[in-house]
């Protein structure tokens, strides 16, 4: 694709150089997901382990957000701090429920 540098095009449309083979999704790029497993081929133990990993990651994420907020803004009561504490407590409950098997058939 030959393209003029950004800002030198005439009119509203400006051309930008794209890497070879790059097609943004607005130009009709197709996304393919790799892998050879069929959907639903995970064993129940694999699914549970995957779920526990996801919930642990969520817990770590919410913990980091809470610690950062407290570091930047202190621990004075406010709506945002309450939201972050609620998200962290909810993630802890999910982890405890998933680890103990509550709600599983």
What is the residue extent of each domain of the chain? 43-100
- Tokens standing for 27? 């130009």
d(CA 17, CA 3): 6
CB-facing half-sphere around the CA of 4: CA atoms within 13 A: 9
Q: Determine the pLDDT at residue 16.
A: 45
Classify the C-alpha dihedral 74-77-83-84 as positive or negative: positive
Q: Determine the pLDDT at residue 30.
A: 52
Q: Determine the pLDDT at residue 105.
A: 46
pTM of the full structure = 0.53
d(CA 50, CA 98): 11
Alpha carbon 47 to its chain's center = 19
Q: Determine the pLDDT at residue 14.
A: 46
Sequential pLDDT tens for the chain (105 residues): 445 455 554 445 444 444 555 454 444 545 555 555 555 577 888 888 899 999 999 999 999 999 999 999 998 999 999 999 999 999 999 989 888 876 554
Q: Determine the pLDDT at residue 98.
A: 85
């Amino acid at each position: 694709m030959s393209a003029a540098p950004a800002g030198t095009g005439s009119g509203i449309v400006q051309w930008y150089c794209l890497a070879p083979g790059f097609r943004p999704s607005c130009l009709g790029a197709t996304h393919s997901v790799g892998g050879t497993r069929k959907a639903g081929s995970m064993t129940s133990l694999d699914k549970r382990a995957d779920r526990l990993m996801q919930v642990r990651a969520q817990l770590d994420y919410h913990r980091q957000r809470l610690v950062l907020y407290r570091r930047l803004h202190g621990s004075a009561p406010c709506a945002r701090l309450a939201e972050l504490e609620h998200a962290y407590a909810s993630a802890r409950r999910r982890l405890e429920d998933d680890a103990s098997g509550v709600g599983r058939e």
